[in-house]
């Protein structure tokens, strides 16, 4: 069994990575056993995103 770093997983699964400081108006909206969910606006265009932190 191989171990992937987060960067390797993102590249393999065609996921986009955004830096935390690219967002503003960050507000926690939920969470559970493995992480938290936030809503935030992307500074580049103001669109709202959900951010999952694990």
Q: What is the mean pLDDT of residues 31-54?
A: 93
Domain residue ranges in the chain: 21-54
Q: pLDDT digit string (tens) for 10-36?
A: 778 877 778 889 999 999 999 999 899
3-state secondary structure of 48: strand
Higher pLDDT, 48 or 5: 48
Cβ atoms of 51 and 26 within 8 Å: the answer is yes
DSSP structure class, residue 20? G
Is a pLDDT exceeding 70 seen at residue 38?
yes
What integer pLDDT is reported at residue 2 of this predicted model? 63
């Amino acid at each position: 069994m191989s171990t992937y770093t987060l960067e390797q997983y993102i590249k393999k699964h065609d996921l986009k990575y955004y830096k935390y400081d690219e967002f503003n108006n960050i507000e926690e909206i939920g969470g559970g056993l493995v992480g938290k969910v936030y809503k935030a606006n992307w500074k580049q265009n103001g669109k709202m995103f959900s951010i999952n932190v694990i």
